[in-house]
Structure 1
Amino acid sequence: MVPMDIDVENRRFAVVGLGLSGAAVCRFLLRRNARVFATDLSMDPAVKKTAEELRGLGADVLLGHHSDEVFRSADAIVISPGVPHTLGPFEEARRRGVPVLGEIELAARFVSRPILAITGTNGKTTVTTLIGDILRRSGQRVFVGGNIGNPLIEWVDRNEPVDWIVLEVSSFQLDTSETFRPDIGVLLNITEDHLDRYASMEAYAASKFRLFRRQRAEDWAVLNAGDAFVRQFADTVGSRRLWYNVSQAEAEEGARVTDSGILWRIPDEMLEAVEKRSGFRLRDPIDPWFRVDRKDIGLPGRHNVENVAASILACMAAGASEEAVRDAIRTFTGLSHRMTQVDVIDGVTFVDDSKATNVDAVVRALEGYDRNVVILLGGRDKMSPFERLRDAVSEHVRHAVVIGEAAGAIEEAIRDLVPVHRASSMEEAVTIGFRLARPGDVVLLSPACASFDMFTSYAHRGQVFCEAVRRLGHDR
């Protein structure tokens, strides 16, 4: 990534949204003597606290509503990922030639270190974290951030020395990217999600592929050959492509993912590129095949073998050592709220998969079980095609417990397949799930929905689930 000159001193910035990234943008700009006008519709106590902090640093802050005058007088507008970039005031600003940026785009203009960026509907955080671990084990200094919860602008503010910047990037963040250019871009998958924000799946896929729009011929794109939308849009990528999840017939062209593990013939051009950059060869040229046995992968599920394959290709392109790759994938066992076992009570296993906020993630979770699941579904609907749950529910689920705003839509989609039970809270859902379960069953929280109808985040939802399970165990 080549940094661009951007002078912020004395310029007027409107910052929309005071969550983690928005607040970080304000601090960054204020420390560089910009004039900051921050606004957020929320009157939540946490937002009010952030507002008071920013006022103390010199920002003007407006809560509860937005002011058109703030947008009209701004030299640039920085919007948070949760704020639709197509709103009227932003379109008007663009027509006047005023930049409308996201935090990632703003921060990237100050970055001179190489960037490895990961996007996709599912698996982003797992792959981002695993890649960061592999690169660190290879002796490289790494910043891991982006949509994972560490704003890139905070690293820019600190200016810590690193060899690689590893970023999880959402479609919402890519929507406001113009100059952002990762040296290595990873696209894991594209399945139905956020259709409350995008007009079609094609529009959503196009947003994901913005990851590659500024790449150069010498950059790398790691792509999932098993994903139909990735295949469909792949010809728009102008950088060097590394495929994973290829078919047996394509084994010479990318990494195969099978029940027994991963098999990949490392391309000669990668061996040469890494040798030129790092001074050592990745592999003995006599044996270019890289093999990983399934038993040496610490993460559960076929989908995670695919995630590991993507991580291997990206890290090899970044110059990671084979030893570091193997050590990391053997010991990395996953993250909170992603198929995490919480407890076993009277022979019933409780699993927290609160991060499963779309249908495809739930289907993949269920594929790891026999027909012994009591599933907890529901939350805020993102215009999800719940009928796509039917095959997995029919094959793996005995009972479903539904909560939240989408409870009725989910029940309508699956009620002819399994008994469906309503709950008014997570605590009640856990209690009902335990009552319905038999020894050997799994009570699985895998909602297929956003959390914001009842919780502040998927993590908060998972925490409430875990607390309810622990209370249940304590009361036994």
Structure 2
Amino acid sequence: MYKNKKIFILGMARSGYEVAKLLAPDNKILITDVKPQDNDKVKELEGIGVEFILSDKPDDFFDDSYDIMIKNPGIKYDHKCVVKAKNMGIPVVNEIEVAYHYLNKDINIIGVTGSNGKTTTTSIIYEIMKRAFGDKVVLAGNIGTPLCHYVKNIKSGDYLVMEISDHQLCDMYDFKTNTSIITNIYECHTDFHDSHERYVMTKKKIFNHHTKDDTAIINMDNKEVMDMTKDIKSSKLFFSCIDQTNCYYKDGFIYFDNVKYLDTSKIVLKGMHNYQNIMCAILCAKRYNISDDIIIDVLTTFSGVEHRLEYVGNINGREVYNDSKSTNTESTIIALNSFDKDIILLMGGLDRGHSFEELKDSMKNTKLVITYGETKNRIKEFCDKINVKCVVCDDLVTATELAYNNSKIGDVILLSPACASWDQFPDFETRGKLFKNTILKYKNGLFIEKGKHIYMIGIGGVSMSGIADILINMGYKVSGSDRVNSVITDKLKENGIQVYVPQSKNNITDDIDFLVYTAAIKEDNVEMIEAKKKKIPMMERGEFLGEITKLYSNTIGIAGTHGKTSTTSMVSLIFLEAGRDPTIQVGSILSNINGNYRVGKSDTLIIEACEYCDSFLSFKQKSAIILNIDNDHLDYFKNLENIKKSFNKYVSHLPNDGYLVINNDDKNSSELKDNTSAKVVTYGINNDSDYMATDIDYDDEGCARFNVINDGNNLGRIELSVPGEHNVLNALSAIALASSYDISFEDIKKGIKKYKGASRRLEYKGKFKGACVYDDYGHHPTEIMATSNAIHKKQYNESWVIFEAHTYSRAYKHKDDFAKALKNFDHIIVTDIYAAREENVYGITEDDIVKAIKKYGKEAFYISNYDDIKLYLSQYVHDGDLILTLGAGNVTKVADLLVSKNE
């Protein structure tokens, strides 16, 4: 059916991505979305021939040349482009309908729908069937992974368990289940369907093509369900909490075939709504002849579904529940009726215009409502009307903080929004995760008591290892894991920290109290999965570091695309010289402090503030330096505008008694001045600034000397021990900050002079065949250009660079910029691209970089093996030459190889 077709996919997200991958080999596909999508996924699709267009007017380029339209379930039936397709007679279907045509027809399909309870019901059925039939069971649909992902692996006789929403049922025509379950029908999603009648008729499609050989499991207590299913052809099974039928609840027991089947006191899930979900699962499991032992074992151990009245934990005496999947008032009523304690309720989200009046009778225990998002003002009006105290705020993080701060021991803190998430979040899962991460910060005041056990996934990173050592010095037990052993992990072990290599779920032991992970760790990491199973509180490294900043009243952050490590080092050495005794966390090894961290006794913390994944937005700082803002980390930010927005948020958090030190020579940085409450201090070489460098000259090693001018006054002359004009700017920023903190110019001068470079910042390594060998971390074109300029102020005969691009996305985006930055070297060797966290979905190769360099008329080669690089250099390098290894990954090993004592 789907072969040699021209297909238009309206809306990408997960379902569009999976259906495009499935159909691409045999069809011509265009996919479009109004929102920017994951860049890696877009590149992957483009690599297999799929065209992606970002547009809010897809009807402008949709025409009758297309054979089929595949619509994302979230797009309304009356979307202009959908109407256009139907008027042209072009079929409009969805991802599940497409996948159905690839399935074996002798598999068993169980479909679950309803207004509420479908996720819990689907999950219980899946757990029971998985226990009974093992790998022959697949979970897909509205929870789990889109069906198209699995179709080629589903075999004859397998079982497919699916939650199917009304949005999905809209565009399904041939799809047929063997067993259909409808949990209930209430009025909701009328904004999508425009009428309750249309919503009901859409739900009824779950019984499409049924015969008496198929099964319908029906809620006997719900009149709308009973009316809807009167004329279906399925064999019917009923469940009830009121009347005796196939499966029913009575006096604390669930009955099956009029026999006591299950004592509800032994069930983890509580409430009549959950007993209904359980009865659905019992009827379905018995339909497939699953043993009672398996059914009862699952039902008595199943603890619930993530984001559906999920128990987050006891946070300092408060019972916390995450019900983010509640997108309508009926779900929130169920949640509210589950508690007989005082409730602090977090509500809000996308405004669909529905009334909140139905909640009134269920809010007798609600002592406070915290509302946010599009609906906040309407919810406030509703609460005022029924005399329930309500506080209004803008976002969920603030709402969560207000909820905790207004709670007391014994309260229930409940996120049950009664609204969709799409005003501020891509989905309810993201909303729920943010709520959990935010509330868990309060567990025993953040890190729990000193002496407790903190586990770190990715502990071998420079930043993570520094945090680990700080925590040890603060009195915590620390352990962690990494993929490979390294110099850093060896040092951690020497300091008494248990480091596991490789990572394994067995490392996540029951004595772990808190877990920290890096942004590079994915959801499918085995240790992350195990920690979530054990409900261990966890936090991403940047957030955790942000919490550490809250322990200091004078945190100073050094931010910017380039130069953070050098500047953090300079500021640190100045504060040490002045006797300020700071705690220091720097992104590389600083020989002056014998590592990348130092624990001081003052209230000052000096820290690198990295913008990647918005990490620095978690920091609480008094003062900050902004060195520059450039295109980088585009795998996350997508474009420069988003980077600038992030920096704007960062400086807006600074208090009015702090300082914001800004590079006035950098246009993007200088634009931040009006977006902060802090006192702004500027520095520069070319543009008029509060602190300026004049009369700059350089010694034979390229190290600058310059006068510092402040408000027309010559403060004195500075001598650097590191080369390059970029370090003049770095030093000026440190001088401006230190002067703002009333540190004497003499201490500033001495501190800066002591900075001879951090590890891998144009670090001198030794000699090879009479040539000086340097190593540098630079991995962005701007950094490389600065390093190149610094190199060329040194004295040497010919220059050699061994360049390693860092990440495929950066290599793909900046290939030509790299070539331009490298062209001033006499000889250029390109080695393997360092993948880091990425897969090569871009098709970029080392040869592409070599070709770009050769366009400048330069000599360039690709050599993969490090021993081969050494052999090549040994044949051509001469006494008096200069060799630079350049990149943020493994290329530093080449420098070590060249200067090894075996030479």
TM-score w.r.t. the length of structure 2 is 0.47
User: 5 Å matches for 1:191-210?
Assistant: 191-210=186-205
Q: How far apart are the structure 2 equivalents of 1:50 and 1:408?
A: 38
Q: What displacement does 1:71 show? A: 4.1
Question: 2:511 — aligned with what?
Answer: none
Preserved contact between residue 375 and residue 443 of structure 1 (Cα < 8 Å): yes
Partner of 2:308: 338
Letter in 2 for 1:470: L
Which of these residues, 23, 29, 35, is aligned with residue 36 of structure 1? 29
- Equivalent residue of 1:223, what SS? strand
SS of the aligned residue for 1:157 comes to coil
Q: Which residue of 2 aligns with 1:20?
A: 14
Counterpart CA distance in 2 for 1:409 and 1:117 is 36
Distance 1:258 1:383, change over 3 A: farther
**8 Å contact 2:12–2:32 — kept in the other structure?**
yes
Q: Is the 8 A contact 1:183 1:215 kept in 2?
A: yes
Q: State yes or no: 1:212 paired with 2:207.
A: yes
In 1, Cα distance between equivalents of 2:206 and 2:64:
30
User: What is the aligned counterpart of 2:378 among 409, 415, 419?
Assistant: 409
Cα distance between partner residues in 2 of 1:426 and 1:89: 34
Write out per-residue CA displacement over residues 343-372 of structure 1, whole angstroms, 9 at most, x where no aligned residue: 434422222111111111111111111141
- The alpha carbon displacement at 1:24 in A equals 0.5
Q: 1:406 to 1:259 in 2, by over 3 A?
A: farther
Q: Is residue 81 from structure 1 mapped to residue 73 from structure 2 by the alignment?
A: yes
Task: Choose which of 171, 174, 179 in structure 1 pairs with 2:169.
Answer: 174
- Deviation, 1:474, is 5.2
- 8 Å CA contact 2:137, 2:158 repeated in 1: yes
The one-letter code matched in structure 2 to 1:423 is C
Task: Deviation per CA, 1:312-360: give whole Å up to 9, x if none.
Answer: 1112112322221111111111122222232434422222111111111
Equivalences, count: 441
CA–CA distance in 2 between the matches of 1:71 and 1:169?
30
Equivalent residues of 2:112, 2:180 under 8 A apart: yes
**How many Å separate the matches in 2 of 1:474 and 1:320?**
44
1:137 alignment partner, one of 110, 117, 131: 131
CA separation of 1:114/1:344 partners in 2, compared to 1, >3 Å: closer, same or farther?
Answer: closer
1:454 aligns with 2:424: yes
Residue in structure 2 matched with residue 245 of structure 1 by the alignment: 240
Residue 503 of structure 2: aligned partner:
none
Q: What is the rounded CA distance, in whole Å, between the counterparts of 2:133 and 2:31 in structure 1?
A: 40
Shift in alpha-carbon separation, 1:470–1:408, aligned structure 2, 3 A:
same
SS in structure 2 at match of 1:176: coil
2:150 matched residue in structure 1: 155
Kept after mapping to 2: 8 A contact 1:15/1:79: yes
Q: Are residues 1:128 and 2:98 paired?
A: no
Q: Structure 1 residue 125: deviation in Å? A: 1.6
**Who is 1:261 aligned against?**
253
Q: Unaligned regions of 5+ residues in structure 2, if any?
A: 447-903
Corresponding position of 1:291: 261
The verdict on how the C-alpha distance between 1:126 and 1:71 changes in structure 2, with shifts beyond 3 A counting, is: farther
Q: 1:382 to 1:316 in 2, by over 3 A?
A: farther
Aligned residue runs from structure 1 range 32-71, under 5 A: 33-44=26-37, 46=38, 48-65=39-56, 66-71=58-63
Letter paired with 1:441: D
User: Structure 1: how far apart are the matches of 2:100 and 2:272?
Assistant: 34
SS at match of 2:139: strand
> Cα distance 1:68–1:320, how it changes in 2: closer, same or farther (>3 A)?
farther
Q: State the AA in 2 paired with 1:38.
A: I
Letter in 1 for 2:373: G
Partner of 2:367: 398
Shift of 1:56: 0.8
Contact 1:20 1:149 (C-alpha < 8 Å) held by counterparts: no
3-state SS of 1:158 partner: coil
Q: Give distance in 2, aligned partners of 1:465 and 1:236.
A: 44
The answer (yes or no) to whether the contact 2:122–2:161 under 8 Å persists in 1 is yes
Cα distance in 1 for residues equivalent to 2:371 and 2:174: 43
Q: Please give the alpha-carbon distance, in whole angstroms, between the structure 2 residues aligned to 1:411 and 1:298.
A: 34
Q: 1:68: how far off?
A: 4.1
Worse overlay, 380-389 or 21-30: 380-389
- Structure 1 distance, partners of 2:329, 2:76, is 22
Structure 2 residue 112 is matched with structure 1 residue 118:
yes
Give the CA deviation at 1:162: 5.0
Q: Percent identity?
A: 29
Match of residue 268 from structure 1: none
Read off the aligned partner of 2:381 and give its amino acid letter: E
Alignment partner, residue 285 of structure 1: none
Mapped to 1, the partners of 2:123 and 2:241 lie a distance apart of: 24
Measured in 2, the distance between the counterparts of 1:335 and 1:468 equals: 19
Match of 1:385 in 2: 355
One-letter identity of the residue aligned with 1:82:
G
Q: Distance in 2 between matches of 1:328 and 1:114?
A: 21
Secondary structure (helix, strand or coil) at the match of 1:207 reads helix
Name which of 400, 403, 414 aligns with 1:444. Answer: 414
Q: What SS does structure 1 have at the residue aligned with 2:93?
A: strand
Deviation string, structure 1 residues 121-158 (Cα, Å, up to 9, x no partner): 11222111211111122235211111103111111133
Residues 95 and 216 (structure 1), Cα distance of their counterparts in 2 relative to 1, 3 Å cut: farther
Partner of 2:592 in structure 1?
A: none
Q: Which of these residues, 82, 85, 90, is aligned with residue 82 of structure 2?
A: 90
8 Å CA contact retained: 1:246, 1:254: no
- Asked whether the equivalents of residues 357 and 449 of structure 1 are also in contact (C-alpha less than 8 Å), the reply is yes
Identify which of 418, 426, 441 aligns with 2:396.
Answer: 426
Alignment counterpart, residue 317 of structure 1, candidates 287, 290, 293: 287
RMSD after superposition? 1.8
One-letter amino acid of the structure 1 residue matched with residue 421 of structure 2: S
Considering Cα pairs closer than 8 Å and 6+ residues apart, tell me whether 1 or 2 has the greater RCO: 1
Asked if the contact 2:341–2:412 (Cα under 8 Å) also holds between the matched residues in 1, the reply is no
**1:161, CA displacement in angstroms?**
5.4
Shift of 1:227: 1.5
Give SS of 2:394's match. Answer: coil
- Residue 229 of structure 2 aligns to a residue whose secondary structure is helix
| SS of corresponding position for 1:197 | helix
> 1:403, 1:429 within 8 Å by CA — same for their partners in 2?
yes
Report the alpha carbon displacement of residue 456 of structure 1 after superposing the two structures with TM.
Answer: 2.2
- 2:108 touches 2:157 (CA, 8 Å); kept in 1? no
